[in-house]
Structure 1
Amino acid sequence: MVLLLGILLAVLTVFVAVALYYEHPKAEIPHGFSQRQKLYVLHFLMNFGFGLGKFLERIGITKDIYLLRVIMDGIPPLKDKHLLIKDLSFEKVKVRIYHPKMSTTGQRRGVLYFHGGVGLFGSIQAYERTCRHLAWKSNSVFVSVGYRLAPEHPYPAQFEDCVTATIHFLRTAQDYGVDPSRIIICGDSSGGTLTAAVAQALVKRRDLPKLRAQILIYPFLQSVDFDLPSYQQNKAVPILLKERIITFGLRYVNKDVRLVEKINDWSHIPEDLKLKYKKWVSADHIPQEFKVRGYQPSPTLPMAEEISETLRLFIDPVFSPLLAEDSVIAQLPEAFILTCEYDVLRDDGLLYKKRLEDHGIKVTWCHLQEGFHGTIFLAFWGGLVAFRSGEKGLEKIVNFLRLM
């Protein structure tokens, strides 16, 4: 009887999750994408997970965020013969250090990795394969930073942990066989946001070694304009749909998700600041080649007074690093920026690339023509979820690291 009830509950859960799946936006994969069916399958699996999480939250079993964390963590890989791996704390911030076993002359480069997950999920375990691969292939000491997550630890605790871990590593690098002048910070998605924000926070520090470089992998960099060409073209392209990124962003900063509509209309930015930010955040600065898939400028509504103060933190450079002042941008270290054609965040990377280059900062740009958001993370899971674009991007990242 118990077994039968368990089976019935499992079947009911699946059916409800499938039903809730259809509440989510549907995928629209461009015809130019060669692995369309594979991406459709991935989209279905992800929406199923979101639906299951919503169902379990509705019946009081667990919050959807907690389920997503478990799914993202996955099954940890087996022991690695190429690396020495150790868990430590940098000033109470949890980190995992990956040290290559291969012999080398002199000190190695060091890399701090800030994982993605919109500040709500993701972990050291989720990015275990990522850091193992990059540490081994680049012969670098990698530090995966396990920053605290929202909502348990409200924003900007995530940024504060990443700054703390970076400063600690800069000061103690030699204890780990790392040259302090060859330290790089790296992150994907919201981890790319944290990477850019940390690099900006350290430009005026004269008591620390300078960062050698920053690696931004399809980063989120601005919350001023969600109607750039990449948002219009890729709003329904998996895995990061436009509605999803705004909703998760609001949850990250503990704001009402019903504000999505006003943010879509760009009515959360005061008029005077719209004019200021237009010199940095505008479709006018996006090369024409990235508009051929379609772009139609949309009128913005007047500022919504009732939410202007509530969302003021959206224009804080910690949350939107693209909005940092010129005096900060001009002092940043060399950068590697990876963008994907089928990613709503593509134009964030293009705009940041332009700002850096306008101030004489060297930028190595990698654009994946068939790339989509998350393709690098998926490259380590093989089989059903790995895509050729992710493998190509990984190779470019490793090659950049080897030159540092």
Structure 2
Amino acid sequence: MAALYTVLVLFSAVFVAGFILLVMGAINFHFSNSEIPPGVNQPVKLRIIHIILISRAVVGKILENIGICSQVSFVRYMQRGKALGEDPKLFIQDMWFEEVPVRIYQPKAPSANQRRGVMFFHGGGWVFGSLEAYEKLCRFIARESESVVVSVGYRLAPEHTYPAAYEDCLNATIHFMKDIEHYGVDPANVIVCGDSAGGNLAAAVSQTLAGRTDLPKLRAQILIYPGLQALDFNLPSYQQNRRVPLLFRERAAFYVLQYLNGDALHVQEVLEGSHIPINIKLNYKKWVSPDNIPKKFKVRAYKPHVLLDCTSRVYETVKRFCEPNLCPLLAEDAVVHQLPESFILTCEYDVLRDDGLLYKKRLEDNGVRVTWYHLEDGFHGIINSFNSDWFSFPSGKRGLDNIVSFLKSL
């Protein structure tokens, strides 16, 4: 018995020591590699969240190295969170639209009129995110806007590469629109919505449906700090916020490559801009250029980037970056001018800020009505923390309230 007690004590000591080393390593990595701009509200809170995320990734890597599970699987599992149970104001049902899992949130209160429908595509860099991880957010949108919300559990990279996620979101949306009256939704009031990678998918789906004559027109699109291009990772926001949590510049390139090819072999070329031939970059310069970014967003630590050419070998692996279904910012004007009314949310301290600003300009130049909301103290992912107890940020709630107000105005 004494020997067993000794073993347990030693095991506990090793576990505690390992945990302390893990946390110390995560703290060291955070302070060595990240930067919290002075304009961010509650910086200590953001630091703690980032350190927790780093620790989670490290544990996942350890488990992968000893053969228990992959790092990606572990992080996905940890993101799921606890089950929320029933909601007194919502009917919640898991279903399949074609072969795509969806979770439908329908308000219980009776309505004299047909409701609006919101197709929601979650973020997570096309690699992470799930129906469970976005449960609180979708419940909030459904309750507060009194809308039917359909959250789409699209296939994830690197197991399922482009265009799997896009096809799932498109197919789920078409299925919903064809069976829309079953859910008490007005066919003329369907909105696509997504954050980050989900914003990319919402923009791509909206563009595809813009030319369809066999379906009702989308009423609006809501793009929450969307990633919309992969040609230039040296735009002002990518330089200024390259080390700002929760999305580093390098990770943004890593995720889009994971989505494209299931690997990140050419991440360095993508970061330096040597993945796309100069002639192609010049062809898209009218749309993807720092010249189209308002001057006030270029004041903070921005240096113009020299255009670099690329080898045919690298370009061959990433040439699909020029497809609008992957990079919606590159769609032709003939498509863009058909798009529905739009809401775009951007954050000052987000590498993807300029993707949203460039798309806002493109939409407005093509006569599309745009409601733009900019969080001056916001960072990437801030909306997700709106209801995370101690880890919530007031500006994230402000952004979400503006999204709900936009929905209620439709």
Matches of 1:123 and 1:381, distance apart in 2: 17
1-structure distance, mates of 2:255, 2:14 = 29
Q: Which residue of 2 aligns with 1:290?
A: 297
Question: Against the structure 1 CA distance between its residues 171 and 254, is the aligned structure 2 distance closer, same or farther, given a 3 Å change threshold?
Answer: same
Matches within 5 A, 1:179-328: 179-328=186-335
The 2-side partners of 1:309 and 1:249 are apart by 16
Residue equivalent to 1:164: 171
Percent of aligned positions that are identical: 53
1:72 Cα offset (Å):
1.4
8 Å CA contact 1:337–1:353 kept in 2: the answer is yes
Q: What is the CA distance between 1:33 and its match in structure 2? A: 2.1
Compute the displacement of 1:59 (Å): 1.9
Output the CA distance in 1 between the equivalents of 2:384 and 2:15.
Answer: 29
Give the 3 Å change call, closer, same or farther, for CA 260–153 of structure 1 in structure 2: closer
Q: Which residue of 1 aligns with 2:157?
A: 150
Aligned to 2:395: 389
**Within 5 A, what are the aligned runs for 1:33-48?**
33-48=40-55
Question: Which runs of structure 2 are paired with 1:62-101 in the superposition (5 Å)?
Answer: 62-101=69-108
* 1:386 aligned partner, one-letter code: S
The code of the aligned residue for 2:366 comes to H
1:7 to 8, 12, 16: 12
- Cα deviation for residue 263 of structure 1 reads 0.9
Amino acid aligned to 1:180: P
Summarize the Cα distance change of 1:54–1:15 in structure 2 as closer, same or farther, 3 Å threshold.
farther
What SS is found at the alignment partner of 2:266? helix
Which residues of structure 1 form unaligned runs of 5+?
none
* Structure 1 Cα separation of the partners of residues 16 and 251 of structure 2: 27
CA distance in 2 between counterparts of 1:162 and 1:191 reads 9
C-alpha contact (below 8 Å) 1:17/1:55 kept by paired residues: no
Alpha-carbon distance in structure 2 between the residues aligned to 1:299 and 1:17: 40
Conserved? CA contact 2:158–2:262, under 8 Å = no
- Native 8 Å contact 2:236 2:298 kept in 1: yes
The structure-2 alpha-carbon separation of the partners of 1:61 and 1:15, relative to structure 1 and needing over 3 Å to count, comes to farther
Tell me, what secondary structure is at the counterpart of 1:245?
A: helix
Cα deviation for residue 6 of structure 1 reads 5.4
Q: Deviations over 1:61-115 (max 9, x none)?
A: 2111111111211112232101011111111211111110112112100001000
Change (3 A) 1:74 1:3: farther
**Cα distance change of structure 1 residues 33 and 54 upon mapping to structure 2, 3 Å threshold:** same
SS in 2 for 1:257: coil
**Does structure 1 residue 402 correspond to structure 2 residue 405?**
no
Letter in 1 for 2:407: L
Q: Could you tell me how far apart the structure 1 residues matched to 2:167 and 2:272 are?
A: 31
Moved more, 272-281 or 50-59: 50-59
Q: Which moved more, 1:222-231 or 1:256-265?
A: 256-265
Q: What is the correspondence of 1:86-125 to structure 2 with a 5 Å cutoff?
A: 86-125=93-132
Alpha-carbon shift at residue 314 of structure 1 (Å): 1.9
CA contact (8 A) 2:161 2:258 kept: no
Q: Which residue type is aligned with residue 354 of structure 2?
A: D
Report the Cα offset of residue 13 of structure 1. Answer: 5.0
Deviation at 1:182, TM superposition (A): 0.4
Q: In structure 2, give the amino acid aligned to 1:345.
A: L
CA–CA distance in structure 1, aligned partners of residues 195 and 107 of structure 2: 22
> Which stretches of structure 1, 4 residues or longer, exceed 6 Å deviation after superposition?
none
Q: 1:126–1:255: structure 2 CA closer, same or farther, 3 Å change rule?
A: closer
Instruction: State the 1:3 CA deviation.
Output: 4.4
RMSD between aligned residues: 1.7
- How far off is 1:47 after superposition? 1.2
Partner of 2:139: 132
Residues 29, 36 of structure 1: 8 Å contact kept: yes
CA contact (8 A) 1:27 1:40 kept: no
- Which stretch of the first structure deviates more once superposed, 355-364 or 292-301? 292-301
Residue 10 and residue 316 in structure 1: after superposition, are their counterparts in 2 closer, same or farther (change >3 A)?
Answer: farther
- Tell me the TM-score normalised to structure 2 length: 0.94
Q: Give the conservation status (yes or no) of the 8 Å contact 1:380–1:386.
A: yes
More divergent stretch after superposition (350-359 vs 89-98): 89-98
Contact 1:108-1:178 within 8 A present in 2 as well:
yes
1:361 Cα offset (Å):
0.3
CA distance in 1, matches of 2:123, 2:54: 19
Instruction: Label 1:329 to 1:299 Cα distance change in 2 as closer, same or farther (>3 A).
Output: same
C-alpha contact 1:20 1:51 (8 A) present in aligned 2: no
The aligned length equals 403
Question: Structure 1's 268 and 6: CA in aligned 2 closer, same or farther, altered over 3 A?
Answer: same
C-alpha distance in structure 2 between counterparts of 1:135 and 1:348, whole Å: 27
TM-score by length of 1: 0.96
In the TM superposition, residue 32 of structure 1 has moved relative to its aligned partner by: 2.2
SS at match of 1:38: helix
State the alpha-carbon separation in 2 of the partners of residues 257 and 93 from structure 1.
27
Pick closer, same or farther for the CA change 1:359–1:102 going to 2, 3 Å: same
SS in 2 for 1:7: helix
Residue 380 (structure 1) shift: 2.3
Q: Give the distance between the partners of 1:304 and 1:255, measured in 2 at CA.
A: 21
